[in-house]
Amino acid sequence: MSEALRKVRSLDVLCEETYLKAMAIRPILTVPDPVLKQRSKPVVGPVTDEHRALMDDMLETMYAAPGVGLAAIQIGVPLRIIVMDISPKEEEKQPRFFVNPEIVWASEETKPWEEGCLSVPDIYDEVERPAQVKLKYLNRDGQEIVEDAEGLFAVCIQHEMDHLEGTLFIDHLSRLKRDSAIKKVKKAERERASEGAAL
């Protein structure tokens, strides 16, 4: 093999590895994994390519699940990073990225909304949250953004920011409902494991 051809093939392998790494789908942690109860740490310093690679992985993982939001802690990374896409399925994807998000104002008015969570699969229940919030965060490029949120956006950002504090949506429910949800998730995982072992 000529040196030139060897270099081309090496470049192909490098490009393929880089592409696959950029498109990595990570395992999503589910209850009662104790990692989900950790408080995530702020991103210190500028938003780097390493952070953007993590956000890309999170986005691919979220789309594959599928879901509309994902916090880094849900894939085992305790950083204050969130990805989200609440655009309708029939429309073009509109991914959003939030680094070190903070809620700087919340309305007194609250609204109930039925929520679900990728870390509590197939469980849905109503949670009441502030109807409107104002948030501050860094975007994918590290620019500071201050933005108002309402409707699904407000619900989703509050839900995901709960994850950064080690809080799941089922923690807003009664203890009975919370314990029941965890039992259902554990039972479903045992059944899937049994089916996999039988194949």
What is the average per-residue pLDDT within 80-101? 96
Radius of gyration of the chain (CA): 19
Catalytic residues: 160
Residues 51-57 have a mean pLDDT of: 97
pLDDT of residue 146: 98
Task: Point out which residues pair with 114 in neighbouring strands.
Answer: 126
143 and 114 Cβ atoms separated by less than 8 Å: no
If one compares 195 and 185, the residue with the highest pLDDT of the two is: 185
pTM: 0.86
Please say if the pLDDT value at position 16 is more than 60: no
CATH of residue 23:
3.90.45.10
Question: What does the block give as tokens for 188?
Answer: 């479903």
The residue among 35 and 189 whose pLDDT is bigger is 35
Total tally of structural domains belonging to the chain = 1
Token representation of residue 163: 């994850």
Asked if residue 117 lies in contact with residue 128, where contact means CB atoms within 8 angstroms, the answer is no
Quote the CA–CA distance of 61 and 121 in Å, as a whole number. Answer: 14
Domain that holds residue 30: 3-198
Quote the distance between the C-alpha of residue 133 and its chain's center. 19
Predicted confidence at residue 192, as pLDDT, reads 84
Please report which confidence band the pLDDT of residue 9 belongs to, taking 50, 70 and 90 as the band edges.
very low
Mind listing the pLDDT tens digit for each residue in 22-47? 568 999 999 999 999 999 999 999 99
Query: What integer pLDDT is reported at residue 12 of this predicted model?
Result: 36
Strands (E) located in 7-156: 69-71, 81-84, 96-106, 110-117, 120-130, 132-138, 144-150
Mean pLDDT along residues 173-181: 96
At residue 11, does pLDDT exceed 80?
no
Over range 113-137, report the average pLDDT.
Answer: 97
Q: How large is the average pLDDT for residues 173-193?
A: 94
